[in-house]
Structure 1
Amino acid sequence: MTDPLLNATDLPNISSIDLDAIAPSRRDAAGHETHRPRVLLLYGSLRERSYSRFLVLEAERLLKAFGAETRVFDPAGLPLPDDVGIDHPKVAELREACTWSEAQVWCSPERHGAMTGVLKSQIDWIPLSTGAIRPTQGKTLALMQVSGGSQSFNAVNQMRVLGRWMRMVTIPNQSSVPKAYQEFDDEGRMRPSPLYDRVVDVIEELMKFTYLVRGRSDYLVDRYSERKAAREKDMALEQVAQGAGL
């Protein structure tokens, strides 16, 4: 696949001379996937002027500039976990988008020193496993938060624990935007600043990790303990069958 030309026409804060396409010669191995990376973005506020949504939309613009295919999930109307069945339209939409994705971005406001219930509910609706399929295992993950006051990392630290629990490859870099009300203009666009540059760093790193991990995640998350348990289960079933004369 030829790298798409970075399109910075909708990224006025970008220094194009410093923004490089992610080089195929450095990212790809033999037999690599050739489709555009698929990225799902989740945000954690239902407010009309939602800074976590604004930040996710900035991240989406950057992802598209780097050649990704994106979906932003709207959490409005998503019921509380276990309040309805999994056939609810919003639950089904979220789970299908999670399965579709190869990478995800989670962004939450910090509320009472923690991530919001809106973001946590979305994560809680994503199962650890569906039959033999683990919807999040081996997918890459980037974390961001917005705060009304001084810079904090409580929400991203909580989400990092959840990402590890969901068996996701959570990238080292992360973004925390303090006093978010000062960082976005009336149109919801993020103003140029070192904080914006950090968001670019996070998205660039997510794309690099996604290119390197996808197509290899089954191998990367293959575990000794699970192989051992599966072998012992097969041996036990074989002994039962032999005992029954089958």
Structure 2
Amino acid sequence: MKIVIITGSNRKSATSTRLAVNMGQLISKKGHQVQLFDLFETPLPFYSPEGIGFDHATVQSLQQAMLQADGVVLATPEYHGSLSGVLKNALDFLGQEHFRGKAVLSMSSSGGAVGTSSLLQLQSIVRNLHGINSPDWVSIGGAQRNELADGFADYEGSGQGINDRIHRAALSFLELAAQVRGN
């Protein structure tokens, strides 16, 4: 399957981007093709309902990848109890034709304990775009962000709880994507 991962941070070393890269590696190891759109590395113009920016090469590349995707992963930092403006801007360039009938996994990284507000909002956006939310999500916060950044090695239990949760969410998402696709 083809999986598109969109990272919604405007920060070079964002833990939400590291989480997305980690998820992409897991999905790739399962034999699936992963395309990562890092919105820090490839920024998009500001969305305008008048169609301004739709001819931008990065917008067209994202739209084309999304049309071909069998599943989607959205990763965001949680800012002020919400998803990032960078990710929302990217989602505004996409429509139902990009999400309809596709499995979507939502993930967040929060400076606080967990980032569930952003995940609830992402799931609402996915429903409005006719995507199918994965029953699992991934939210890391507080010290868990450090565990992810350091590769789980320097922490008691080696971060196994977080690692297990990420693996479970990946497997659940891939199972849903295969079912929806008819495999």
TM-score, normalisation: structure 1: 0.66
Match among 163, 173, 176 for residue 139 of structure 2: 176
Q: Describe the SS at the equivalent of 2:44.
A: coil
Write the letter of the residue equivalent to 2:125. Answer: L
Cα displacement (A) at 1:193: 2.8
Decide whether aligned partners of structure 1 residues 169 and 190 sit closer, same or farther in structure 2, where only a CA change above 3 A counts.
Answer: farther
- Listed as ranges, the gaps of 5+ residues in structure 1 are 1-36, 129-133, 217-246
Residues 77, 109 of structure 2: 8 Å contact kept:
yes
Moved over 3 A (4+): none
- Number of the residue aligned with 1:121: 89
Higher RCO (C-alpha under 8 Å, 6+ residues apart): 2
* Whole-angstrom CA distance in 1 between matches of 2:98 and 2:30: 24
Residue in structure 2 matched with residue 19 of structure 1 by the alignment: none
Hey, what does 1:41 align to over in structure 2?
Answer: 5
Partner of 1:137: 100
**1:107-162 Cα distance to aligned partner (Å, 9 max, x none):** 1111011111011111111023xxxxx22100110111101121230011000001
Look up the match of 1:160. Answer: 123
Match of 1:112 in 2: 80
More helix by share: 2
**Consecutive unaligned residues in structure 2, runs of 5 or more:** 154-158
Residue 184 of structure 1 aligns to which amino acid in structure 2?
A: L
For residue 211 of structure 1, what is the amino acid of its counterpart?
A: A
1:49 and 1:56 map into 2 onto residues whose CA distance is: 12
In structure 2, what is the equivalent of residue 80 of structure 1? 46
Q: Which SS does the other structure have where 1:120 is aligned?
A: helix
User: Which of the two has greater strand per residue?
Assistant: 2
1:55 and 1:190 in contact (8 A); partners too: no
How many residues get paired? 173
Structure 2 match to 1:219: none
Distance 2:152 2:106 in 1: 17
Identity across aligned pairs (percent)?
Answer: 25
